[in-house]
Amino acid sequence: MLASPNWTHLAAELSGEAPLDLSAGLSLLLYTGLVVGLVLLLMLLAAKLGHKSTTPAKREPYESGILPSGEARVRGPVPFYLVAVFFIVFDVEAVFIVSWAVVYDRLGWAGFAQMAVFIGVLFLALGYLWKAGALDWGPRAGRKAGGKLPEAGR
């Protein structure tokens, strides 16, 4: 792809070694100007000439013809969020482990040692979360954590 003639020509043009083809650039510029101008003109005309009416009913959010009842925002329990975050954190680490596992035979014992250190640090993190009470959730978490891990406690 990189070696195709178009590419090298473009590279030469950009670095100033070949003269820029001005006519091609000009037509592109004109075309862009026309497109942008037309869009602006249409928007302007619609805004100026169009008929506008607002009634209270029009400002209501549309929900299949049924009047909305109450807020759309629901308060969800935070532990779901925490668990989701932990899942993503450990899931991303799995990417590194899998990429090692694919070539474990070529990396040998040095690779094994590096991966062992990596997984060791991961276990430390898991232990930290466990001890801090981030994995306890449900009714008893509030009593037990009581502020050990601020994020999980309240």
Partner 1 sequence: MSLAELFSLLPVLVLAGASLLVLMLGLWLKHLPSLVALGVAACAAAGALAVLVPPEVMEVGGMFSAARYARFFLVLWAGVVAWTLLSSVRYAAARRFQPGEWVSLLLFAGAGMALLSAATSLVGMFLGLEAFTLVLYILIAFHRGSAAGTEAGLKYLVLGVTATAVLAFGVALVYASAGTFHLPEAMAGVAGDSPLRPLGLLGWGMLLVAIGFKVSLVPFHLWTPDVYQGAPAPVAGLLAAGSKGAMFSAVVGLLAGIGLGLRDLTPVLWALSGLSMLLGTLAALRQENVKRMLAYSSVVHMGFVLMGLLDAGPEGQEAVVFYLVFYALVSLGAFGVLTAFSGEEGEPQQLAAFRGAGYRHPFLAAALAVFMLALAGVPPTGGFMAKLGVFAAAIRAGHLPLALVGVLASLVSLVYYLKLVIAMYMSAEGAPPSGSPLHRGTRLEAACVGVCLLGVLLLGLAPGALLDWIGSLL
User: Both tokens of residue 76?
Assistant: 């969800």
Site string for partner 1, 124-143 (x = CB under 8 A): x--xx--xx-----------
CB of 136 to partner 1, least distance (A): 14
Helix (H) or strand (E) holding 36: helix 22-49
43 vs 117, beta carbon nearer partner 1: 117
- The dihedrals phi and psi of 19, each to the nearest 5 degrees, come to -65, 140
- Site stretch for partner 1 (CB under 8 A), options 4-12, 24-32, 44-52, 88-96: 4-12
CA-to-CA dists, residue 120 to 111, 123, 133, angstroms: 14, 5, 20
Task: Please report, as residue ranges, which positions from 5 to 44 form the binding site for partner 1 (by CB under 8 A).
Answer: 8, 10-11, 14-15
- 108 touches partner 1 (CB under 8 A): no
Give the Cα-Cα-Cα angle 80, 145, 92 (nearest 5 degrees): 40
Asked whether the beta carbons of 124 and 146 are under 8 A apart, the reply is no
Contact residues toward partner 1 (CB under 8 A) are 2, 8, 10-11, 14-15, 110, 114, 121, 124, 127-128, 131-132, 150
